[in-house]
Every structure is written in C-alpha cells, then in structure tokens.
Structure 1
C-alpha cells in the first residue's frame, strides 16, 4: 500500500466512480484536488467542508504538475487518456476501467482498527473483490481491531525481554490464539491483557 498521508493527489472527474476513489484517498489522509465542471452532492459537500479542493472546470495539462498520485475517473475515455498522457515517470496513475494503463489500483479494503485486509482482482472484475470483502466482514468482526491492539502491546513487551530469536518466536506464537478473539468479542479482553502483561513483567524481572 502507498503511504499518501499529506501527499498532493489529483482526481479528474467527480461522478460516482470518482467519489468512491476519493473516499479512499481521504481515508488515507491525502491532500486531494478535484478537477471537474460538475460533482456529486457528496463531493460538493467535501469541498464545502474543505476536505478537498474542487476546481470547477475541465482538465488542463498543468493540473497534474506536482501530484504524487493521479486518478482519472471521468466518463469520457478521451479525457482519461489525456490525463494519462501528462503523467511523469515518478507519478502514480489510476485510470477507471483501464488497468492496463494504471500503475496502481484501488483494492477492496476491510478495516478493523489498524488491521487492513485488501482484496484485488487486478482490475479484471472489481465486483468480485467487493463480494469477497463482504464475506470477510462477516468472518472478521470489529473484535479483530481490539485483538490487534492487544497483540501490539504484548509484542512490545516480549521484544523488551531481550530473549533469543527462538524464545521470542515461541512467546509471540502463544498469543495467536482464538480465545483472545472470543474475549474481545465478549468485551473481556482487557482482563486477559492485564494477566498477560503481568506474566511478561515477571519474566522480565526474573534473574538470569
């Protein structure tokens, strides 16, 4: 995944397709400029809230200058190609319905806290990626976000013990257990986390 937080991004087009892609760019905390004569109500709202900059006109070649990432999502193939032709080697480009010309794609993403599961069909059939994401939503609930937060804290404590690689790996595997997921689902993971951290503290203070 690209880290585009704070990066200048350009979206050409402001219809339904552009809106879906814009939503993902905003979630990634990108700095987005939209160029289009018209826009969906949602995009107009984002512009009014200053979440995006909306330039109300057709695309011009200079619009792409300085952008880290560019999305061409108009309903006019010739405009999308015109955007593509302005792209420099160091810029990333995504053209709606043209994966062959795109240097990156927007995968279907399931987010659970810091956990992100991405699914892509490389542009072959985006609907399948969305379908599979919905299946993952049922399998991986919100409890996985809490579980990952727990694992992050436990991992930091384990790494601070100064054990060798084999011992560290063994301890890390101990916490990859479904009982912690169930505890998160039932809202009692904090109790298990406290117990785990106390056990690790004992190991840390144990004389060699």
Structure 2
C-alpha cells in the first residue's frame, strides 16, 4: 500500500445541514461555486465588494444573504466552510490562515496550498451523486470525463433509485433485505451492458 501524497484528497460526501457557508468573491468563478453549493445547501452568505449581475440575481432568487463589502477578519467565525473566489493571493492566504484558527474548512480557488478541500467535477441526478477528481492534476480531464459518464447514465435511473429507496425503507433490516437489494442492483447494471 502506498503512503498518502500531499495533494490527494479523501473522497467524502459531507452533509451540509446546519453548516454555515461563506463565499468570498462576486465574479464568474464565485458564481460557478455558488451554483454548485446550491445543489447541496442554502445556508450560504456572500461577501464581495462587487457581485456580478447573474450571481446577484441567483442570490436574490434563492434567498441567499449577500454583503457588498470587503472581507473582514472574523467573518468566518460561525462558518463551517469558506470558499475564497478572489484573485488576490494575499487575501486567500489571510482567510486560509484565519480558517485554521476557527477549524473552518477552506477552499481557495486555484490555490491548492490554501485549500483543505477541493470542488470535484460531479454529476447529480436525483439521489445519485458521482464525484470525479484528479487531485488537481487535470481539472479539464475531470470535466470531460464527467460529460462522458453523464451520457452513460440511463434515463430510468431515477425511477430505479426511488424504488430501491422505498424497498430499503419498507423492508426490515437483515441479510434477506441486503441480498434482495444487492440482486436488484446487480440485475439493473447487468441490463445496461
């Protein structure tokens, strides 16, 4: 078994319920991060002196709080996650260092040295979420591989997963349930080949 590398990230799906997220920045990249975050949470606050029109519109539509001002020390005090989408490396560094004091996970766009986590390319289709990462080696490959995988997802997958969820909730736990659900999943995949 090889030892962990510095830029390898543990693939975990994090439940964001009751976790406040701060997004610092108001440009196109910040907008993209907001779109991704909204797939999983609405407890988001935006701080930026200027916010692009499409981001402002989305924030208003989704009821996201925003403040037109520069980041100030202490803004992340109550946050579990901060995303720094600004070009100024000194601001990225400052926020990252402060985030460590508050045990707040930090992502600084395009500066892996100031990241506790990265945004993978991902596919979200109902209950299915597939995340793809190259650990920063090639975000372009991850993006194109995501497109490739998305084309392979069958149209009836949502219905199948809803049925599986219903069965899982309605049948008592145990070996019989586990075997039955495993067989249904295996049969579904087999039909795709």
Same fold (TM over 0.5): yes
Contact 1:6 1:30 in 2 (8 A): no
Using the TM superposition, give the Cα deviation of residue 47 of structure 1 relative to its aligned residue in structure 2, in angstroms: 3.3
Q: Which has the higher contact order (CA 8 A, sep 6+)?
A: 2
* Superposition map of 1:24-173 within 5 A: 24-49=36-61, 51-87=63-99, 88-157=101-170, 159-160=171-172, 165=175, 167-173=176-182
Larger Rg: 1
Contact 2:20 2:44 in 1 (8 A): yes
Using the TM superposition, give the Cα deviation of residue 171 of structure 1 relative to its aligned residue in structure 2, in angstroms: 2.1
Q: What 5-or-longer segments of structure 1 have no aligned partner? A: 183-208
TM-score where L is the length of structure 2: 0.82
More helix by share: 1
Using the TM superposition, give the Cα deviation of residue 172 of structure 1 relative to its aligned residue in structure 2, in angstroms: 2.3
Aligned residue pairs total 178
Contact 1:5 1:30 in 2 (8 A): no
Contact 2:23 2:82 in 1 (8 A): yes
* Superposition map of 1:176-191 within 5 A: 176=185, 177-178=187-188
Which of structure 1's runs of 4+ aligned residues deviate more than 4 A? 179-182
Is 1:175–2:184 an aligned residue pair? yes
Q: What 5-or-longer segments of structure 2 have no aligned partner? A: 1-12
Change over 3 Å in CA distance of 1:152–1:14 after alignment to 2: same
Contact 2:42 2:64 in 1 (8 A): no
Contact 2:168 2:177 in 1 (8 A): no
